[in-house]
Structure 1
Protein backbone atom coordinates (compact mmCIF):
# COMPACT_ATOMS: atom_id res chain seq x y z
CA UNK A 1 0.00 0.00 0.00
CA UNK A 2 1.33 3.42 -1.01
CA UNK A 3 1.13 5.77 1.98
CA UNK A 4 2.54 8.78 0.13
CA UNK A 5 0.82 12.14 0.50
CA UNK A 6 0.43 14.40 -2.52
CA UNK A 7 0.27 18.15 -2.38
CA UNK A 8 -2.11 20.14 -4.58
CA UNK A 9 0.40 20.76 -7.39
CA UNK A 10 1.16 17.04 -7.64
CA UNK A 11 -2.53 16.11 -7.74
CA UNK A 12 -3.25 18.70 -10.43
CA UNK A 13 -0.38 17.37 -12.55
CA UNK A 14 -1.60 13.78 -12.18
CA UNK A 15 -5.26 14.35 -12.95
CA UNK A 16 -4.75 17.16 -15.47
CA UNK A 17 -7.51 19.32 -14.01
CA UNK A 18 -7.56 22.94 -12.92
CA UNK A 19 -7.65 23.90 -9.26
CA UNK A 20 -11.22 25.22 -9.42
CA UNK A 21 -12.47 22.09 -11.17
CA UNK A 22 -10.70 19.83 -8.66
CA UNK A 23 -12.20 21.59 -5.65
CA UNK A 24 -15.65 21.54 -7.27
CA UNK A 25 -15.34 17.77 -7.73
CA UNK A 26 -14.32 17.46 -4.05
CA UNK A 27 -17.30 19.59 -3.02
CA UNK A 28 -19.65 17.46 -5.13
CA UNK A 29 -18.22 14.25 -3.64
CA UNK A 30 -16.80 13.15 -7.00
CA UNK A 31 -13.12 13.34 -5.97
CA UNK A 32 -11.43 12.29 -2.72
CA UNK A 33 -11.21 15.04 -0.13
CA UNK A 34 -7.80 16.16 1.09
CA UNK A 35 -6.66 15.56 4.65
CA UNK A 36 -5.19 18.19 6.97
CA UNK A 37 -1.51 17.55 7.58
CA UNK A 38 -0.87 20.72 9.55
CA UNK A 39 -2.67 23.88 10.53
CA UNK A 40 -2.28 25.42 7.08
CA UNK A 41 -1.52 22.46 4.82
CA UNK A 42 -3.60 19.75 3.19
CA UNK A 43 -2.68 16.75 1.06
CA UNK A 44 -4.29 13.84 -0.71
CA UNK A 45 -3.51 10.17 -0.11
CA UNK A 46 -1.83 8.91 -3.28
CA UNK A 47 -3.85 5.69 -3.05
CA UNK A 48 -7.13 7.67 -3.13
CA UNK A 49 -6.02 9.65 -6.18
CA UNK A 50 -4.80 6.49 -7.94
CA UNK A 51 -8.11 4.75 -7.30
CA UNK A 52 -10.00 7.76 -8.69
CA UNK A 53 -7.87 7.68 -11.87
CA UNK A 54 -8.42 3.91 -12.26
CA UNK A 55 -12.17 4.41 -11.89
CA UNK A 56 -12.09 7.03 -14.65
CA UNK A 57 -10.06 4.74 -16.92
CA UNK A 58 -12.55 1.91 -16.36
CA UNK A 59 -15.47 4.06 -17.50
CA UNK A 60 -13.82 5.06 -20.79
Structure 2
Protein backbone atom coordinates (compact mmCIF):
# COMPACT_ATOMS: atom_id res chain seq x y z
CA UNK A 1 0.00 0.00 0.00
CA UNK A 2 1.28 3.44 -0.91
CA UNK A 3 1.95 5.65 2.09
CA UNK A 4 1.15 9.33 1.70
CA UNK A 5 2.66 12.23 3.63
CA UNK A 6 0.84 15.40 4.60
CA UNK A 7 2.30 18.86 4.21
CA UNK A 8 2.95 18.84 7.97
CA UNK A 9 4.85 15.54 7.68
CA UNK A 10 7.04 16.87 4.88
CA UNK A 11 7.77 20.23 6.51
CA UNK A 12 8.74 18.44 9.73
CA UNK A 13 11.07 16.09 7.83
CA UNK A 14 12.75 18.97 6.00
CA UNK A 15 12.61 21.38 8.96
CA UNK A 16 11.09 24.15 6.88
CA UNK A 17 7.75 25.94 6.93
CA UNK A 18 4.84 25.38 4.53
CA UNK A 19 5.53 28.54 2.54
CA UNK A 20 9.15 27.53 1.93
CA UNK A 21 8.08 24.03 0.90
CA UNK A 22 5.62 25.34 -1.66
CA UNK A 23 8.22 27.77 -3.08
CA UNK A 24 10.67 24.88 -3.54
CA UNK A 25 7.95 22.76 -5.19
CA UNK A 26 6.98 25.62 -7.54
CA UNK A 27 10.64 26.12 -8.49
CA UNK A 28 10.93 22.43 -9.40
CA UNK A 29 13.29 21.64 -6.54
CA UNK A 30 11.06 19.11 -4.79
CA UNK A 31 8.66 16.40 -6.01
CA UNK A 32 5.20 17.57 -7.02
CA UNK A 33 2.43 16.70 -4.57
CA UNK A 34 -0.90 15.10 -5.33
CA UNK A 35 -3.49 17.83 -4.93
CA UNK A 36 -6.68 16.62 -3.25
CA UNK A 37 -8.40 20.01 -3.23
CA UNK A 38 -7.48 23.70 -3.20
CA UNK A 39 -5.60 23.47 0.11
CA UNK A 40 -4.81 19.80 0.64
CA UNK A 41 -1.70 18.13 -0.72
CA UNK A 42 -0.14 14.71 -0.24
CA UNK A 43 3.27 13.38 -1.20
CA UNK A 44 4.20 9.80 -1.97
CA UNK A 45 6.43 8.71 0.91
CA UNK A 46 8.79 6.71 -1.32
CA UNK A 47 9.20 9.64 -3.73
CA UNK A 48 10.15 11.94 -0.84
CA UNK A 49 12.49 9.32 0.63
CA UNK A 50 14.22 8.91 -2.76
CA UNK A 51 14.60 12.67 -3.07
CA UNK A 52 16.16 12.84 0.41
CA UNK A 53 18.59 9.99 -0.36
CA UNK A 54 19.63 11.74 -3.57
CA UNK A 55 20.26 15.00 -1.71
CA UNK A 56 22.25 13.19 0.99
CA UNK A 57 24.41 11.50 -1.66
CA UNK A 58 25.07 14.84 -3.37
CA UNK A 59 25.94 16.40 -0.03
CA UNK A 60 28.34 13.56 0.80
CA UNK A 61 30.06 13.80 -2.60
CA UNK A 62 30.43 17.58 -2.23
CA UNK A 63 31.92 17.34 1.26
CA UNK A 64 34.42 14.68 0.12
CA UNK A 65 35.71 16.81 -2.76
- Normalised to the residue count of structure 2, the TM-score between the two structures is 0.76
User: How big is the shift at 1:7?
Assistant: 0.6
Where has structure 1 moved over 3 Å in runs of 4 or more? none
**Does 1 or 2 have the higher relative contact order (CA < 8 Å, sep 6+)?**
1
Specify every segment of 5 or more residues in structure 1 that has no aligned partner in the other structure, as ranges.
Answer: none
Higher fraction of strand:
2
Cα distance per residue 1:16-43 (max 9 Å; x no partner) = 1221111111001110111023x35320
Specify every segment of 5 or more residues in structure 2 that has no aligned partner in the other structure, as ranges.
Answer: 60-65
- Higher gyration radius (CA): 2
RMSD of Structure 2 on Structure 1 (CA): 1.5
- Normalised to the residue count of structure 1, the TM-score between the two structures is 0.82
Query: How many residue pairs align between the two structures?
Result: 58
Higher fraction of helix:
2
